[in-house]
């Protein structure tokens, strides 16, 4: 697409500052679109993120929408282990060293960063304008670094040409859903993995029966149960980025694409586990999970939810289920493939930019996660981006 005229970026504070049809054009399924950003915006997350959106235009014509957010990032979350340890020690004395105010391009809560492009527009057409506008807006917000968060490696050539350095991100995960439901999925697994999954499911059924249900727009009492299990899982997680609120579950439940997969005790009706999933056509998203950890490992709640999710997605005709950036060991054992992602960064201080680029360049996926370290030790040829 030939773009005539100067490209300009206008920052707005709400998804409602751009027409819905523009959002639909820039974020078609299976990308999280207007419904996703509208829910986040109304979820009471202001203490964690400041949301904004770059409307990229030329001569009054929209070219792209660049979601962005500002966050005071805990250094522990992003720094390599040795650097994080040193900064934790220094941060005990100088608090500001424990956090890095950062201007992100991408979504605070999505597994993959996306700039929504109008049909015919390429990222290379608009990236330079977005980066320049982000640098200016970051300075106004007191952020010293701009990060394009969790973008596909295919974006690397364009973004690195702008002087950004690359840092590996937590990979996403996804699994193919062959036609034929859960039985067809089982047959697609390696024999040892199929045996292991069957063993977990049998063990869980032996621990006790659970009633399955799939609902939309849960009432307030059900959302409270879901939130309680979400918090249990959140507290057990090693990596914490966003912390969801009751308002998030209320808002996201209003979206037509949202489904809750529930497991309940048949006698008491008490919720044992849930999955928050999105139906995006050829792809379904297995997004947030919550489990009652007081039940113990023998209930195998994760594997029972997994069976539900595979069956649900396959029934809808989806070809793929996108999962999440955590808990890699069981997911790899269930046939998931890793979706490699990178973040692309630039610090406003040239000296710190060189230092961070050098450190970031040496960081590997194994440095981010023990499960990934074991995986790539066994398969070093796969750790490429």
Sign (positive or negative) of CA dihedral 201, 206, 210, 212: positive
Largest CA distance in the chain: 67
93: its two tokens: 């004395």
Report the alpha-carbon distance of residue 234 to residue 228 in Å, rounded: 10
DSSP state of 210: -
Topology agreement, domain 7-171+340-382 and domain 173-338: yes
Nearest to 48 by CA among 109, 113, 93, 116: 109
| Integer angstrom CA distances of residue 80 from 167, 239, 375 | 11, 13, 19
Domain 173-338 sits in CATH 3.40.50.1980: no
Burial 16-38 (b: 16+ CB within 10 A, else e): eebeeebbebbbeebebbbbbbb
Class of domain 7-171+340-382: alpha beta
pTM above 0.85, yes or no: yes
pLDDT of residue 207: 97
**Own/partner pairs, 285-288, CB within 8 angstroms, 24+ separation:** 285/30, 285/32, 285/321, 285/322, 286/313, 286/321, 286/322, 286/323, 286/324, 287/324, 288/230, 288/244
Q: Are 65 and 26 in contact (CB under 8 A)?
A: yes
Domain ranges of the chain: 7-171+340-382, 173-338
| pLDDT attached to residue 82 | 52
Q: Please, which residues bridge with residue 289 across strands?
A: 275
DSSP lists the bridge partners of residue 280 as 283
Which pLDDT tens digits describe the chain residue by residue (385 residues)? 667 789 999 999 999 999 999 999 999 999 999 999 999 999 999 999 999 999 999 998 999 999 999 999 876 665 555 555 555 555 555 555 668 899 999 999 998 999 999 999 999 999 999 999 999 999 999 999 999 999 999 999 999 999 999 999 999 999 999 999 999 999 999 999 999 999 999 999 999 999 999 999 999 999 999 999 999 999 887 667 789 999 999 999 999 999 999 999 999 999 999 999 999 999 999 999 999 999 999 999 999 999 999 999 999 999 999 998 888 999 999 999 999 999 999 999 999 899 889 988 888 888 888 888 888 777 666 655 4
């Amino acid at each position: 697409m030939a773009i005539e005229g100067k490209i300009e970026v206008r920052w707005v504070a709400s998804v409602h500052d751009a027409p819905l049809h523009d959002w639909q054009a820039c974020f078609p399924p299976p990308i999280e679109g207007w419904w996703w950003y509208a829910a986040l915006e109304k979820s009471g997350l202001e203490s964690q993120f400041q949301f904004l959106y770059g409307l990229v235009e030329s001569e009054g014509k929209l070219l792209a929408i660049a979601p962005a957010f500002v966050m005071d990032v805990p250094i522990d979350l992003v720094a390599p282990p040795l650097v994080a340890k040193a900064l934790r020690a220094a941060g005990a004395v100088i608090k500001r060293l424990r956090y890095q105010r950062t201007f992100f391009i991408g979504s605070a809560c999505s597994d993959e960063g996306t700039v929504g492009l109008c049909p015919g527009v390429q990222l290379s057409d608009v990236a330079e304008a977005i980066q320049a506008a982000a640098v200016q807006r970051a300075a106004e917000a007191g952020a010293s670094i701009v990060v394009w968060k969790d973008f596909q490696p295919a974006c690397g050539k364009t973004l690195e040409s702008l002087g950004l350095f690359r840092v590996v991100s937590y990979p996403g995960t996804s699994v193919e859903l062959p036609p034929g439901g859960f039985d067809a999925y089982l047959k697609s697994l390696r024999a040892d993995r199929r045996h292991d999954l069957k063993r977990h499911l049998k063990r869980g059924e032996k621990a006790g029966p659970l009633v399955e249900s799939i609902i939309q727009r849960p009432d307030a009492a059900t959302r409270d149960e879901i939130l309680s299990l979400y918090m249990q899982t959140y507290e057990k997680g090693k990596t914490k980025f966003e912390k969801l609120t009751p308002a998030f579950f209320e808002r996201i439940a209003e979206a037509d694409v949202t489904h809750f997969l529930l497991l309940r005790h048949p006698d008491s009706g008490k919720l044992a586990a849930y999955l928050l999933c999105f139906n995006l056509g050829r792809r379904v998203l297995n997004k947030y999970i919550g489990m009652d950890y007081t039940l113990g490992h023998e209930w195998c709640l994760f594997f029972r939810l997994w069976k539900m999710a595979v069956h649900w997605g396959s029934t809808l005709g989806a070809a793929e289920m996108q999962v999440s950036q955590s808990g890699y060991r069981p997911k790899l054992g269930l046939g998931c493939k890793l979706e490699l992602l990178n973040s692309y960064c630039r610090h406003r201080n040239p000296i710190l930019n060189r230092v961070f680029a050098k450190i970031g360049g040496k960081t590997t996926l194994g440095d981010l996660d023990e499960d990934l370290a074991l995986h790539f030790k066994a398969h070093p040829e796969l750790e490429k981006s």
